């Protein structure tokens, strides 16, 4: 092997002619999911022309936007090798806190938004405390946070929903949802729905952060091998903290988008979104052969699910079968990234 | 596998002088693609001997062992056991013809979460022919029987993770002996042991020999081979280049291992210029004697000592990866007390850690990302990375260190160990740092890579202080201007590298380890 090592570099270490099978596998691994998505859209548009209209496209993106925002938060926590189960509860907390701030305490829209964001920050910091300071495994720690935060939200509003005119201690609350806040749910910018705009901005932020900044590189390094990351001078604890704070804050933004859309705050609305967000992030592993958490993949995953459900609904597919179809999608995506991807050697 | 078959019995070896060796390898060759890992290798393993099997990293030792233990199949050639040709196409085959192997990584041979007794009988538990129902009591009973036959004293009911590394190794060796092998292969058994544990292992190997068990002892440490073996076979570039009988001449073995390359790395010790780093009253561990350390511009300092002597602990304090035990450090005349590795790097102190796969490799990441990960601020403006600059840097490293790879974009797992190491060391030698610390930079790499890294380190030391740590005195003499020997946390010796040979260094280490053994005895007597 000595001879081989002394020879000049860039030689055919792995450049043996690939077999046709290997090449096909590689193509499926990279583009398979995108091809399936394109084929699905093409088929739905052909069979039901309204599916492909601009209005319906907006419906789909709007439906995808909230899942995408939380999913992007999950993605960030996954890049540092973590897993944030508490995003749903952070979302619920932000919903109730921001709605409550306006309806019960009669605060302005911007103040409510700040309070919502502060909730996300607080959840992120609490997770950081459990995971970085107390060294509790991520999954366990965020599960505990999930229950704790959900419980806190319930206690805070006495188990009831927050809506305009709700009764507080027997008296009808006078506060209203502020127009600034409502814009998040029903406004639009240049004909594009506000929640789509917000999700787009969040996507750009996460995409640039993860792919083009040294912090993003550091996040992936921490997720890949925390010991090696520390040895390379990356401050691992700080990266984990930043990731969980981003995750909490994005969940809070998603919560406020939901509250603004429905003009009310329902108890534990976030629970349902947790699994959708996680599955969007996991489906995203298969996009362009990334085989790891990535922003573009998560966005694709969220849009994929929204388009699928929108299309199936249009074809009167029973609503109770949606979960099954979504599960199928997740399994296929995971099989693609784990079976066709390069084998990680131990 | 009957537990009462001839465990550890040496009685049934054929009468001496019958002529047939226990194992005979005839013209074994093995190719991986275009690479010929083993080329026409023939040698014999005689009854009742401890045969040393040595060679540089990448010489083909592990390939041959994998063939004997049934993990690889030879491309051509023949294996004869007691005069009969045998096919060894699986680990089960290997065991059934009486070959037991204890691989380098002990923790691959034991199962955590199980007791010592269960680990001892693992092969039996896993065998399809064994009873479906087993309970702790029946396992313990059989383990006791095995233990009695092997004349061992193991804490059978203890969980395996409660044992030290050498304790786990003892279990792994005992487990190999349960099947009453004719040949026991020990693959670099000391690589993860401390000095004291190494001594215990040596006693165990001597004991095996006394019982008449044939051992193939694989190591790259001259001192061990000299101490334990009756005969050695030296492998270089996949060929047998030398066979020697005891009394062994380690110098002859070393030159056989290294070939001509050993001449090209000879050099004169340089005096060293202005001091870059000084440490006063540093301790490797909290109970070690304090030591002073000065590292100067223009010299490579080689720090050697047995595994577990405290070298890594000392170096990790200097590069901020471990809290400082005591004393004070100065870097370029200024007070220096790094809070973590990031702070040390910011002040110009970098370290190439010992365990490549655990401490330096990010699974699945590309070569260029590995090149820049420790110095991202150099490649970014306001936090945004300059990818073109990064890949250009990576190509420079690949070019200068002759890293054999398809492109800078391939994942690091595509590279051989030696090429990974060239890249991981080389990335630190392209910028100006104050102090570069390398912990076992030559572990697991072949001699070509070693020569390239050595040369680069000597060049780099013109502009920085360099300290290389290795438990192999040969490597230290080869690369260093000044040599330090650490024994049990104390700096025992310091002197010019060209005034001492690796044998003399080994001697310093082995003399003191004999003393330590004395200490150990005293401790156990109390």
Q: Tell me the backbone φ, ψ of residue A56, rounded to 5 degrees.
A: -70, -35
CA–CA dist B313, B455 (Å, integer): 26
Q: Which of the residue ranges A49-63, A141-155, A308-322, B104-118 would you say has the lowest mean pLDDT?
A: B104-118
Q: Which residues of A touch B237 (CB under 8 A)?
A: 1-3
Task: Note whether B235 and B322 are same-domain residues.
Answer: no
Residue B439, class by beta-carbon neighbours within 10 Å (0-12 exposed, 13-18 middle, 19+ buried)? Answer: buried
Handedness of CA B426, B431, B432, B433 (dihedral sign): negative
Tokens linked to B83: 């005069």
Residues near B44 by Cβ (< 8 Å), separated by ≥ 6?
Answer: B21, B23, B24, B25
Of A9, A12, A224, the CB nearest to B403: A9
Average pLDDT taken over every residue of chain A: 85
Show the CA angle centred on residue A57, arms to residues A52 and A60, nearest 5°.
Answer: 125
- Could you say which residues from 281 to 320 on chain B have a Cβ atom under 8 Å away from some Cβ of chain A? none
Tokens linked to B211: 């019982």
Task: Note whether B105 and B158 are same-domain residues.
Answer: yes
Decide if A139 is inside a domain: yes
Residues near A8 by Cβ (< 8 Å), separated by ≥ 6?
Answer: B402
Q: Which residues of A touch B344 (CB under 8 A)?
A: 233
- The helix/strand/coil state of B378 is helix
Query: Chain A residue closest to B342 (CA)?
Result: A233
Band of the pLDDT at A4, cuts 50, 70, 90?
A: very low
Task: Note whether B483 and B518 are same-domain residues.
Answer: yes
CA–CA dist A250, A187 (Å, integer): 20
Of A9, A215, A224, the CB nearest to B365: A224
Task: Note whether B154 and B278 are same-domain residues.
Answer: no
Q: Which residues of B touch A13 (CB under 8 A)?
A: 404-406, 410, 414-415
pLDDT tens-digit profile of A66-119? 999 999 999 999 999 999 999 999 999 999 999 888 888 888 888 999 999 999
pLDDT tens-digit profile of A234-245? 999 999 999 999
Total domain count, chain A: 1
DSSP string, A284-332: GGGGGG--S--HHHHHHHHHHHHHHHHHHHHTT--GGGHHHHHHHHHHH
CA–CA dist A307, A329 (Å, integer): 12
Establish if B346 touches chain A: CB-CB under 8 angstroms.
yes
| Model ipTM value | 0.81
Of A3, A227, A292, the CB nearest to B359: A227
What is residue B180's DSSP assignment?
Answer: -
Q: Is there a contact between A61 and A296 (Cβ–Cβ < 8 Å)?
A: no
CA–CA dist B325, A187 (Å, integer): 61
Total domain count, chain B: 2
Residue B499, class by beta-carbon neighbours within 10 Å (0-12 exposed, 13-18 middle, 19+ buried)? Answer: exposed
Of A8, A228, A233, the CB nearest to B402: A8
Over the range B333-357, which residues count as b (16 or more CB within 10 Å of their CB) and which as e?
Answer: eeebebebbbbbbebbbbbbbbbbb
Decide if B257 is inside a domain: yes
* Listed residue (A238, A245, A208) closest to A221, CA to CA: A238
- pLDDT of the residue at B474: 78
DSSP string, B216-251: EEE-S-HHHHHHH-SEEEEEETTEEEEEEESSP-HH
- Could you say which residues from 403 to 422 on chain B have a Cβ atom under 8 Å away from some Cβ of chain A? 403-407, 410-411, 413-416, 418-419
Task: Note whether B247 and B268 are same-domain residues.
Answer: no
CA–CA dist B64, B40 (Å, integer): 11
Query: Chain B residue closest to A8 (CA)?
Result: B402
What is residue B27's DSSP assignment?
Answer: E
Task: Note whether B279 and B379 are same-domain residues.
Answer: yes
- The helix/strand/coil state of B8 is coil
Decide if A25 is inside a domain: no
Decide if B89 is inside a domain: no
Decide if B459 is inside a domain: yes
* Listed residue (A211, A266, A275, A220) closest to A243, CA to CA: A220
Decide if A15 is inside a domain: no
Q: Is there a contact between A181 and A112 (Cβ–Cβ < 8 Å)?
A: yes
Return the axis-axis angle of helices A214-224 and A54-79, rounded to nearest 10°: 60
Decide if A95 is inside a domain: yes
> Domain boundary at B263, B287, B318, which?
B263
Q: Which residues pair with B50 in a beta bridge?
A: B215
CA–CA dist B70, B88 (Å, integer): 5
What predicted TM-score, i.e. pTM, was given to this entire model? 0.75
Query: Chain A residue closest to B404 (CA)?
Result: A9
Res. A60: pLDDT tops 50? yes
Decide if A8 is inside a domain: no
- pLDDT of the residue at A343: 55
Residues near B287 by Cβ (< 8 Å), separated by ≥ 6?
Answer: B489
Q: Is there a contact between B287 and B489 (Cβ–Cβ < 8 Å)?
A: yes
In order of A29, B13, B438, the CA distances from B479 in angstroms are 46, 46, 12
Q: 10 Å Cβ neighbour count for A292?
A: 18
Establish if B341 touches chain A: CB-CB under 8 angstroms.
yes
Q: Which residues of A touch B413 (CB under 8 A)?
A: 344-345
Are A14 and B379 an interchain contact pair (Cβ–Cβ within 8 Å)? Answer: no
Residues A188-216: what's their mean pLDDT?
Answer: 91
DSSP string, A117-148: HHHHHHHHHHHHIIIIIS---HHHHHHHHHHH
Task: Note whether B253 and B371 are same-domain residues.
Answer: no
- The helix/strand/coil state of B53 is strand
Decide if B29 is inside a domain: no
Residues near B328 by Cβ (< 8 Å), separated by ≥ 6?
Answer: B279, B280, B281, B335, B337
Establish if B154 touches chain A: CB-CB under 8 angstroms.
no
Q: Is there a contact between B176 and B184 (Cβ–Cβ < 8 Å)?
A: yes
Decide if B31 is inside a domain: no
Q: Where are the beta strands (DSSP E) in B237-362?
A: 239-245, 275-282, 291-296, 300-304, 328-331, 334-335, 349-352
Task: Note whether B295 and B232 are same-domain residues.
Answer: no
Q: Which residues of A touch B361 (CB under 8 A)?
A: 225, 228
Decide if B92 is inside a domain: no
Band of the pLDDT at A18, cuts 50, 70, 90?
A: low
* Residue A9 or A238, more confident: A238
* Listed residue (A255, A263, A301, A304) closest to A279, CA to CA: A301
Question: Any idea what the CATH number is for the domain that residue B185 is in?
Answer: 3.40.50.300
Range of the structural domain that residue A251 is part of: 31-339
Task: Note whether B336 and B240 are same-domain residues.
Answer: no
Establish if B108 touches chain A: CB-CB under 8 angstroms.
no
- pLDDT of the residue at B304: 85
Establish if B55 touches chain A: CB-CB under 8 angstroms.
no
Task: Note whether B371 and B470 are same-domain residues.
Answer: yes
Are A9 and B398 an interchain contact pair (Cβ–Cβ within 8 Å)? Answer: yes
Residues A143-151: what's their mean pLDDT?
Answer: 93
Decide if B43 is inside a domain: no
Q: Which residues of B touch A16 (CB under 8 A)?
A: 33
CA–CA dist B449, B458 (Å, integer): 14
Task: Note whether B427 and B449 are same-domain residues.
Answer: yes
Range of the structural domain that residue B389 is part of: 264-525
Are B362 and A225 an interchain contact pair (Cβ–Cβ within 8 Å)? Answer: yes
Decide if A2 is inside a domain: no
Decide if A1 is inside a domain: no
Are B362 and A228 an interchain contact pair (Cβ–Cβ within 8 Å)? Answer: yes
> Domain boundary at B246, B263, B280, which?
B263
Task: Note whether B251 and B303 are same-domain residues.
Answer: no
CA–CA dist B414, A191 (Å, integer): 49
Instruction: Give the distance from residue A345's alpha carbon to the nearest chain B alpha carbon, in angstroms.
Output: 7
Decide if B296 is inside a domain: yes
Are B405 and A9 an interchain contact pair (Cβ–Cβ within 8 Å)? Answer: yes
Instruction: Give the distance from residue B199's alpha carbon to the nearest chain A alpha carbon, in angstroms.
Output: 31
Return the axis-axis angle of helices A295-314 and A322-339, rounded to nearest 10°: 150
Each residue's pLDDT tens digit in chain B (526 positions)? 344 444 444 444 444 445 788 889 888 888 876 667 888 888 888 888 889 998 776 678 888 888 988 888 888 888 888 888 888 888 888 888 888 888 877 777 788 888 888 888 887 777 666 666 667 778 888 888 888 877 777 788 888 888 877 778 888 888 888 878 889 898 888 766 666 677 777 888 888 888 888 999 988 677 788 888 889 998 887 888 888 887 777 777 777 776 655 444 567 777 778 888 988 888 888 877 888 888 998 889 998 877 667 888 888 899 888 888 888 898 888 999 898 888 999 999 999 888 787 888 898 889 999 999 988 988 989 889 999 999 999 999 998 888 888 888 888 888 777 788 889 999 998 888 899 999 888 876 766 778 888 888 888 988 899 999 987 777 888 888 888 888 777 787 777 877 777 777 777 775 554 455 454 444 433 3
Decide if A22 is inside a domain: no
């Amino acid at each position: 092997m000595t001879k081989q090592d002394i020879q000049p570099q860039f030689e055919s270490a792995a450049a043996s002619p690939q077999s046709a099978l290997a090449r096909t596998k590689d193509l499926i691994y990279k583009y398979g999911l995108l091809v399936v998505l394109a084929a699905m859209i093409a088929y739905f548009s052909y069979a039901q022309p309204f599916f492909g209209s601009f209005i319906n496209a907006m419906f789909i993106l709007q439906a995808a936007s909230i899942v995408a925002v939380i999913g992007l938060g999950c993605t960030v926590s996954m890049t540092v090798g973590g897993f944030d189960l508490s995003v749903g509860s952070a979302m619920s907390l932000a919903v109730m806190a921001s709605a409550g701030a306006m309806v019960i305490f009669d605060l302005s829209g911007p103040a409510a938004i700040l309070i919502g964001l502060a909730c996300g920050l607080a959840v992120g910091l609490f997770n950081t405390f459990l995971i970085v300071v107390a060294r509790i495994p991520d999954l366990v720690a965020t599960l505990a946070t999930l229950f704790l935060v959900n419980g806190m939200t319930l206690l805070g509003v006495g188990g009831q929903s927050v809506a305009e005119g709700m009764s507080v201690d027997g008296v009808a609350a006078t506060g209203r949802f502020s127009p600034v806040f409502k814009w998040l749910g029903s406004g639009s910018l240049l004909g594009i729905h506000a929640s789509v705009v917000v999700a787009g901005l969040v996507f750009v932020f996460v995409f640039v952060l993860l792919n083009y900044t040294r912090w993003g590189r550091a996040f992936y390094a921490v997720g890949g091998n925390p010991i090696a990351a520390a040895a390379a001078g990356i401050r691992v604890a700080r990266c984990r903290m930043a990731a969980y704070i981003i995750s909490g804050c994005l969940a809070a933004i998603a919560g406020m988008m939901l509250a603004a859309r429905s003009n009310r705050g329902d108890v534990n609305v976030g629970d349902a979104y947790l699994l959708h967000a996680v599955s969007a992030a996991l489906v995203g592993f298969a996009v362009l052969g990334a085989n790891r958490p990535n922003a573009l993949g998560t966005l694709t995953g969220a849009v994929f699910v929204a388009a699928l459900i929108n299309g199936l609904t249009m074809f009167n597919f029973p609503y109770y079968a949606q979960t099954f179809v979504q599960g199928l999608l997740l399994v296929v995506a995971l099989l693609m990234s784990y079976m066709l991807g390069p084998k990680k050697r131990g | 596998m009957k537990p009462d078959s001839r465990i550890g019995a040496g009685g049934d070896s054929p009468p001496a002088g019958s002529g047939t060796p226990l194992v005979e390898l005839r013209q074994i060759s093995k190719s991986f693609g275009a690479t010929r890992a083993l080329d026409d290798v023939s040698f014999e393993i005689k009854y009742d001997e401890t045969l040393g099997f040595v060679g540089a990293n990448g010489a083909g030792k592990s390939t041959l062992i994998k063939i004997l233990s049934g993990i690889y199949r030879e491309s051509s050639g023949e294996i004869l056991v007691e005069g009969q040709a045998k096919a060894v196409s699986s680990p089960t085959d290997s065991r059934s013809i009486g070959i037991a192997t204890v691989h380098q990584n002990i923790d691959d041979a034991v199962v955590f979460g199980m007791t010592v007794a269960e680990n001892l009988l693992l092969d039996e538990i896993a065998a399809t022919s064994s009873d479906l129902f087993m309970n702790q009591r029946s396992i313990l009973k059989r383990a006791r029987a095995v233990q009695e036959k092997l004349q061992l004293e193991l804490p059978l009911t203890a969980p395996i993770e409660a044992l030290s590394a050498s304790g786990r190794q003892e279990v792994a060796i005992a487990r190999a002996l349960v099947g009453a092998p004719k040949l026991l292969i020990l693959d670099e058994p000391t690589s993860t042991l401390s000095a004291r544990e190494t001594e215990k292992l040596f006693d165990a190997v001597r004991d095996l020999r006394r019982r008449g068990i044939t051992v193939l002892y694989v190591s790259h440490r001259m001192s061990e081979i000299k101490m334990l073996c009756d005969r050695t076979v030296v492998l270089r570039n996949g060929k047998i280049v030398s066979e020697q009988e005891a009394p062994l001449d380690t110098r002859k073995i070393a030159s056989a291992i290294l070939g001509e390359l050993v001449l090209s790395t000879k050099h004169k010790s340089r005096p060293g210029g202005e001091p870059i780093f000084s440490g006063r009253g540093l301790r490797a561990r909290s109970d070690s004697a304090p030591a002073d350390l000065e590292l100067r511009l223009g010299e490579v300092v080689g720090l050697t000592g047995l595994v577990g002597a405290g070298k890594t602990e000392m170096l990790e304090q200097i590069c901020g990866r471990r809290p400082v035990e005591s004393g004070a450090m100065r870097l370029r005349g200024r007070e220096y007390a790094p809070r973590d590795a990031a702070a040390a790097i910011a002040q110009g102190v970098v370290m190439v850690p010992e365990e490549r796969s655990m401490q330096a490799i990010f699974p699945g990441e590309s070569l260029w990302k590995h090149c820049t990960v420790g110095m991202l601020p150099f490649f970014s403006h306001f936090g945004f990375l300059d990818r073109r600059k990064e890949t250009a840097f990576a190509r420079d490293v690949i070019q200068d260190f002759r890293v054999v790879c398809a492109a800078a974009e391939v994942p690091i797992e595509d590279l051989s160990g030696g090429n990974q190491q060239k890249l991981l060391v080389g990335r630190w030698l392209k910028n100006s740092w104050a102090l570069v610390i390398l912990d076992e930079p030559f572990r697991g790499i072949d001699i070509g890579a070693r020569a390239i890294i050595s040369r680069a380190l000597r060049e780099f030391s013109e502009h920085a202080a360099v300290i290389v740590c290795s438990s192999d005195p040969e490597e230290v003499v080869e690369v260093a201007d000044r040599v330090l020997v650490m024994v049990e946390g104390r700096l025992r010796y310091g002197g010019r590298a060209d005034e001492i040979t690796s044998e003399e260094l080994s001697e310093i280490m082995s003399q003191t380890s004999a003393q330590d053994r004395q200490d150990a005895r005293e401790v156990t007597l109390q």
